[in-house]
């Protein structure tokens, strides 16, 4: 009975160091070489079948060189969200420091649920969150929050607090939530999780700049009250995914105050503009909201998944998420400034996600982070300036917060032909590894969209990419 | 305008390799030295204040040696959940291979939300999940699921599917959920998130072995139906946190089928017994449930956070979690066997958590994993055998699934004195770094609890720990 399983499950120092160096080499080679790699690579069916077989564990260990080669091939089949020329969705131009911060974090494997379990990392998390909420966004000192896996979870957490603060249980079925038609899909998904019906969500139209039309919002609230419904929550966007637009947050805050609504803001990527001295005025009213979601794995150069939920009054998180059980009796709450973070969020067990952002900030310094954020603005502006000098390109949403939407619109083509043409331009640019600018729809029209966030992409490279899109467009048109 | 932010945010190959080696060294030193480190270390107030100052970023970079020394000190203040002598909660005896798998995973920084973005890692995830669900747990080929951050999220996901499959929207307020009094706290928390009121949860008593009393369950369902309520969900446990007990899952499945209830099983740590040939009969009925949660960061030797939600019919996940937006139109669903995982879960953005478990399985081989799991059973059995040879130690819940609860109970002490004595034994053992066996409550009585999962702890070391607890107890009693 006195078998030691250690030999099987763990390694000697020499073995560990040898293996770690191999893993490190593959990692570094990948990270250094990314600009020359395909931006988008999809698995073909026969390769997927090979991977499916590869996924099944064997009884005996496989030699590390084989496993690493297999891993390399598997990972090769992905979109490089951190490729300098990936412009789809919101990219994740993760810094090497975030990677190394996570290497460290995982090595220490902290359970960041309670003060007892992670007082060191929890003290960092608490203070970093406080700095971001108060110093950067302008929340009062009562503000707080915690790290979560990403924007979807952050939105869910905040919406839960809104529900629990603003509604009696019996009021929930007649409650109404106000979003815009540009609000991120995770909001409706979060509301569905929280028990609301899709028909309880009022999608308010946007103005021509893709910002919520507040006159329409006022009318709709009035109408809902007259119908016996219970308005309780308005969701603003600080940087929509489609266009980077920022809702008129000051007006939303005024309406929310007057109508006793919770104001949640989705700042998943846009909140990072707060770190730029020259651009932060674009989101200056963000501190007026009751809660906000903010992803560090987007515009703060972190690897996945690293998001935050911030609440104007952090104590409200505990009303919704307080956790207790017999088996946690030895991990009581610390004093108010040192919370058990499992009382702030859905997760009981949680990695110390704050530590990699902390590590990155320490290694980069804020000036570099600021330059990186401002560079994203400039890249989209460069794209716009270049497009405006070319023929037949129409900008449907100008560069803002690093996002621009446009399409190629030569005369004589109907809408159907235009859609196909622009889809083809996007497809061919990906196929030729020029850039991955995916498509979306604005006011019903298919457009090409660039979200440019990568610090490694030069402005003249962006000019060149736009010119390449133009060549692709012209060549396609001539066929 | 043609500034390149690269110099600030990224590193040359040489710089990166040099920094990576330093990070690696600190990581390896920590992982190799863990047995000699304090199991539990809590931050004192003045140190917490120092960390709070340290958390705030500066404008300029800090030298890496300083940052790494600060990081070491911060991480030092934690419970080492992967210390061989940590027995609290459910430990996380993470393998070095899981750490290295995560090093790789973070380096490649995959967005595992859609097939377009991560077809390679998604193919691995799909196949690994299928193997675990069907080959290990005995689900039919329709089964599937995905990786999530941990048990709380897995439970939330499964409960959401149960709600959406079994209830019309209008039925929700009169719905009833059945748990036992030993069910994990994340279940009630998840139900609260999903919009249910705590009073809708019926906590069924357990029998003397801490398993749900199915006769009581039947009575309660009948009573609820007569009162016009809508029973729809029963939650079984496959390894409770307190005692490791496994509910009579075959009986629960029969009741669920007869009553048209969804049967969810919390297998966060217990499901891993399926990998042990000699012990898997303990959980043989687990494949009868409709859904199950399972954490790889517990008894599958992974770092945080790595959990799974598995559902008997994977298509049902999509009824609850399907996601769509204009800006995801270029990432359509793959064929049914290649899902967009954002349609299976709350998260839109998600790291490729499957890849570190895959990497670990490849490097360890299943035989070693099996030995590691069986060793946990043996450690708790060794603790029990040792306790039974000592005077005044009472086992309140015998060794099962690697967990044992007991207390020191010399004659002549009242309940209050016994509680204090056992609390003190636990406290002193932690203070002296003998072991961290925290306390819990069973049937109202305070007990010391050991959850022993670490492959590095030898059986004779466990014997020695129990004897040390006995010495502490005797010394304390004599005072």
Report ipTM (2 d.p.).
0.96
Pairs of residues, one from chain A and one from chain B, whose beta carbons lie less than 8 Å apart: 524
What tokens does B258 get? 């007869």
CB A351 within 8 A of CB B304: yes
Please name the residues in contact with B441: beta carbons below 8 A apart, sequence gap of 6 or more: A326, A329, B447
Same domain for B161 and B272?
yes
Across B15-121, where does the E strand assignment appear?
Answer: none
Does A80 score more than 60 pLDDT?
yes
C-alpha B294/C-alpha B267 separation (Å) is 5
Which conformational region is residue B234 in: left (phi greater than 0), alpha (psi within -120 to 50 degrees), or beta? beta
* Sign of the C-alpha dihedral computed for residues B248, B253, B259 and B261 taken in this order: positive
HSE-CB of B25 using CA atoms within 13 angstroms: 10
The verdict on a CB contact (< 8 Å) between A156 and B53 is: no
In a domain, B167, yes or no: yes
**What are the chain B neighbours of A362 within 8 Å (beta carbons)?**
57-58, 61-62, 67, 70
A183 DSSP assignment: S
HSE-CB of B421 using CA atoms within 13 angstroms: 27
Same domain for A298 and A152?
yes
Q: Which residue is it, tokens 């607890």?
A: B469
In a domain, A7, yes or no: no
CA-based radius of gyration for chain A: 24
Q: What would the mean pLDDT of A290-294 be, rounded to a whole number?
A: 98
Same domain for A215 and A257?
yes
B207 DSSP assignment: -
Across A122-267, where does the E strand assignment appear?
Answer: 144-148, 175-180, 201-204, 230-237, 262-266
Q: How many helices (H) and strands (E) does chain B have?
A: 16, 11
Q: Which of B2, B31, B378 sits opposite A460 (nearest CB)?
A: B2
Give the pLDDT confidence of A373-399 residue by residue, as tens digits: 999 999 999 999 999 999 999 999 999
CA-closest candidate to residue B442, choices A323, A348, A330, A327: A327
Please name the residues in contact with B423: beta carbons below 8 A apart, sequence gap of 6 or more: B439, B446
C-alpha A122/C-alpha A342 separation (Å) is 11
User: φ and ψ at A303, to 5 degrees?
Assistant: -75, 165
The verdict on a CB contact (< 8 Å) between B9 and A368 is: yes
Helix (H) or strand (E) holding A423: helix A415-431
CATH number for the domain harbouring residue A436: 3.90.1150.170
What pLDDT does residue A2 have? 34
Mutate to test the interface with B, among A92, A334, A362, A407 (most CBs of B within 10 A): A362
C-alpha A122/C-alpha A110 separation (Å) is 10
Q: Which residue has the higher pLDDT, B74 or A477?
A: B74
What pLDDT does residue B125 have? 98
Query: Which residues pair with residue B202 across a beta bridge?
Result: B178
Same domain for B288 and B405?
no
In a domain, A120, yes or no: yes
B131 DSSP assignment: I
Nearest chain B residue to A2, by CA: B459
Q: Which of A2, A186, A327 sits opposite B459 (nearest CB)?
A: A2
What sections of B260-365 are H helices per DSSP?
296-299, 315-321, 354-364
Extract the residue ranges of chain B whose pLDDT is less than 70: 1-10, 335-336
Same domain for A396 and A268?
no
The verdict on a CB contact (< 8 Å) between B126 and A297 is: no
The verdict on a CB contact (< 8 Å) between B100 and A184 is: no
What pLDDT does residue A338 have? 85
C-alpha A256/C-alpha A234 separation (Å) is 7
Please state the length of chain A.
Answer: 479
What tokens does B132 get? 């675990």
Same domain for B265 and B394?
no
Does A17 score more than 50 pLDDT?
yes
**What are the chain A neighbours of B332 within 8 Å (beta carbons)?**
none
Q: What would the mean pLDDT of A354-370 be, rounded to a whole number?
A: 97
Distance from CA of A255 to the nearest CA of B (A): 27
Same domain for B34 and B153?
no
CA-closest candidate to residue B453, choices B300, B348, B242, B306: B300
**What are the chain B neighbours of A350 within 8 Å (beta carbons)?**
149-150, 304-305
CATH number for the domain harbouring residue A274: 3.40.640.10
Mutate to test the interface with A, among B57, B177, B298, B332 (most CBs of A within 10 A): B57
For residue A387, what are the CA distances in angstroms to A381, A395, A468?
Answer: 10, 8, 11
CB B74 within 8 A of CB A355: yes
C-alpha A381/C-alpha A406 separation (Å) is 13
The verdict on a CB contact (< 8 Å) between B426 and A330 is: yes
Mutate to test the interface with B, among A40, A43, A108, A431 (most CBs of B within 10 A): A108
Which conformational region is residue B220 in: left (phi greater than 0), alpha (psi within -120 to 50 degrees), or beta? alpha
What pLDDT does residue B9 have? 63
∠ CA B382-B386-B387, rounded to 5°: 115
CB A398 within 8 A of CB A242: no
User: φ and ψ at B37, to 5 degrees?
Assistant: -90, 160
Query: Which residues pair with residue B407 across a beta bridge?
Result: B394
**What are the chain B neighbours of A463 within 8 Å (beta carbons)?**
none
CB B9 within 8 A of CB A374: no
Helix-helix angle A96-108:A13-32, to 10 degrees? 160
The verdict on a CB contact (< 8 Å) between B88 and A54 is: no
Please name the residues in contact with B156: beta carbons below 8 A apart, sequence gap of 6 or more: A193, A346, B186, B190, B193, B194, B346
Q: Per the structure, how many domains does chain B have?
A: 3
**What are the chain B neighbours of A102 within 8 Å (beta carbons)?**
102-103, 106
In a domain, B8, yes or no: no
Distance from CA of A146 to the nearest CA of B (A): 14
Distance from CA of B254 to the nearest CA of A (A): 29
Q: Which of A51, A172, A195 sits opposite B127 (nearest CB)?
A: A51
Helix (H) or strand (E) holding B376: helix B366-388
CA B392, distance to chain mean position in Å, is 33
Distance from CA of A156 to the nearest CA of B (A): 9
What tokens does A154 get? 């952050």
Q: What would the mean pLDDT of A254-262 be, rounded to a whole number?
A: 98
* Domain enclosing residue B22, as ranges: 14-80
Same domain for A311 and A460?
no
Lowest mean pLDDT of A87-96, A276-285, B9-18, B176-185, name the range: B9-18
Q: Which of B82, B364, B378 sits opposite A61 (nearest CB)?
A: B364
C-alpha B85/C-alpha B83 separation (Å) is 5
The verdict on a CB contact (< 8 Å) between B123 and A55 is: yes
What pLDDT does residue A6 have? 43
Q: What would the mean pLDDT of A199-226 be, rounded to a whole number?
A: 98
Q: Which of A53, A55, A195 sits opposite B358 (nearest CB)?
A: A55
Q: Which residue has the higher pLDDT, A336 or A238?
A: A238
C-alpha B113/C-alpha B121 separation (Å) is 10
CA B396, distance to chain mean position in Å, is 24
CB B406 within 8 A of CB B446: no
What pLDDT does residue A115 have? 94
Calculate the average pLDDT of chain A: 95
What pLDDT does residue A10 have? 66
Does A238 score more than 80 pLDDT?
yes
Across B369-465, where does the E strand assignment appear?
Answer: 393-400, 403-408, 439-442, 445-451
What pLDDT does residue A3 have? 38
Query: Which residues pair with residue B448 across a beta bridge?
Result: B406, B439
Same domain for B55 and B180?
no
CA-closest candidate to residue B126, choices B112, B146, B110, B143: B146
Domain boundary among A324, A351, A378: A351
Give the pLDDT confidence of A29-44 residue by residue, as tens digits: 999 989 999 999 999 9
In a domain, B106, yes or no: no
CA-closest candidate to residue A147, choices A339, A430, A319: A339
In a domain, A356, yes or no: no
Distance from CA of A461 to the nearest CA of B (A): 10
C-alpha A128/C-alpha A357 separation (Å) is 9
Helix (H) or strand (E) holding A192: helix A185-193
**What are the chain A neighbours of B195 within 8 Å (beta carbons)?**
172, 194-196
Domain boundary among A327, A351, A375: A351
pTM: 0.96
What tokens does A234 get? 């308005």
Same domain for A252 and A311?
yes
What pLDDT does residue B6 have? 43
CB B112 within 8 A of CB B122: yes
Domain boundary among A302, A320, A351: A351
Q: How many helices (H) and strands (E) does chain A have?
A: 16, 11
Give residue A479's pLDDT band: very low, low, confident or very high (50, 70, 90): confident
CA-closest candidate to residue A431, choices A396, A457, A463, A468: A468
What sections of B179-305 are H helices per DSSP?
185-193, 214-226, 249-259, 296-299
**Could you tell me the strand order of the sheet in which A230-237 lies?**
A144-148, A307-311, A291-295, A262-266, A230-237, A175-180, A201-204
C-alpha A419/C-alpha A438 separation (Å) is 13
Distance from CA of B95 to the nearest CA of A (A): 6
Nearest chain B residue to A75, by CA: B120
* Helix/strand/coil percent split, chain B, to 5: 50, 15, 35
Same domain for B72 and B154?
no
Buried b (16+ CB within 10 A) or exposed e, A40-69: bbbbeeebbebbbebbbbeeebbebeebbe
C-alpha A321/C-alpha B184 separation (Å) is 15
Same domain for A374 and A316?
no
Give the pLDDT confidence of B46-88 residue by residue, as tens digits: 999 999 999 999 999 999 999 999 999 999 999 999 999 999 9
The verdict on a CB contact (< 8 Å) between A109 and B303 is: yes
Q: Which of B59, B88, B325 sits opposite A365 (nearest CB)?
A: B59
Q: Which of A79, A324, A440 sits opposite B327 (nearest CB)?
A: A440
**What are the chain A neighbours of B62 within 8 Å (beta carbons)?**
362-363, 365
What sections of A204-248 are H helices per DSSP?
214-226
Nearest chain B residue to A134, by CA: B56
The verdict on a CB contact (< 8 Å) between A24 and B103 is: yes
**What are the chain B neighbours of A358 within 8 Å (beta carbons)?**
55, 57
Torsion of Cα atoms, B99 then B101 then B103 then B104, to 10°: 170
In a domain, A357, yes or no: no
CB A8 within 8 A of CB B372: yes
What pLDDT does residue B325 have? 80
C-alpha A1/C-alpha B382 separation (Å) is 9
CB B385 within 8 A of CB B427: no
In a domain, A4, yes or no: no
* Helix/strand/coil percent split, chain A, to 5: 50, 15, 35
What pLDDT does residue B10 have? 66
Q: Which of B5, B326, B358 sits opposite A372 (nearest CB)?
A: B5
């Amino acid at each position: 009975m006195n078998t030691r399983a250690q030999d099987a499950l763990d390694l000697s120092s020499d073995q560990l160091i040898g293996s770690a160096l191999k893993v490190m080499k593959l990692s570094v080679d990948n990270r250094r070489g990314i600009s020359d790699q395909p931006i988008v690579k999809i698995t073909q069916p026969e390769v997927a079948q090979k991977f499916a077989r590869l996924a099944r564990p064997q009884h005996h260990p496989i030699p590390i060189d084989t496993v690493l080669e297999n891993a390399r091939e598997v990972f090769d089949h992905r979109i490089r969200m951190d490729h300098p020329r990936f412009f789809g969705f919101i990219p994740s131009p993760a810094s090497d420091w975030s990677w190394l911060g996570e290497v460290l974090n995982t090595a220490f494997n902290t359970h960041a649920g309670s003060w007892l379990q992670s007082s060191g990392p929890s003290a960092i998390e608490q203070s970093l969150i406080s700095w971001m909420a108060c110093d950067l966004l302008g929340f009062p000192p009562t503000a707080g929050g915690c790290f979560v896996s990403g924007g979807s979870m952050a939105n869910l957490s905040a919406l839960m607090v809104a529900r629990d603060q603003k509604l009696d249980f019996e009021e929930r079925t007649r409650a109404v939530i106000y979003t815009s038609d540009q609000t991120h899909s995770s909001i409706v998904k979060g509301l569905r999780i929280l028990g609301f019906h899709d028909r309880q969500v009022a999608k308010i139209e946007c103005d021509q700049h893709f910002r919520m039309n507040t006159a329409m919002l006022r009318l709709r609230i009035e109408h809902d009250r007259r119908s016996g419904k219970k308005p309780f929550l308005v969701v603003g966007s600080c940087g929509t995914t489609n266009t980077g637009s920022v809702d008129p947050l000051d007006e939303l805050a005024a309406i929310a105050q007057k109508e006793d609504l919770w104001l949640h803001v989705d700042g998943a990527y846009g909140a990072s503009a707060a770190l730029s001295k020259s651009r932060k005025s674009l989101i200056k009213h963000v501190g007026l909201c009751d809660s906000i979601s903010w992803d560090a794995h987007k515009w703060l150069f972190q690897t996945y998944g690293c998001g935050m939920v911030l609440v104007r009054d952090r104590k409200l998180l505990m009303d919704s998420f307080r956790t207790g059980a017999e088996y946690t009796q030895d991990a009581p709450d610390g004093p108010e400034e040192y919370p058990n973070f499992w009382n702030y969020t859905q997760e009981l067990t949680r990695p110390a996600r704050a530590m990699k952002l902390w590590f990155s900030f320490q290694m980069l310094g804020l000036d570099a982070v600021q330059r990186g954020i401002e560079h994203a603005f400039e890249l989209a502006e460069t794209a716009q300036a270049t497009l405006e000098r070319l023929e037949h390109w129409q900008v449907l949403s100008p560069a803002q917060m690093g996002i621009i939407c446009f399409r190629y619109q030569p005369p004589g083509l109907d809408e159907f032909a235009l859609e196909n043409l622009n889809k083809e331009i996007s497809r061919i640019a990906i196929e030729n590894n020029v850039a991955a600018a995916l498509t979306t729809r604005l006011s019903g029209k298919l457009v090409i969209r660039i979200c440019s966030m990568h610090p490694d992409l030069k402005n003249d490279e962006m000019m060149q990419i736009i010119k390449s899109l133009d060549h692709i467009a012209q060549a396609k048109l001539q066929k």
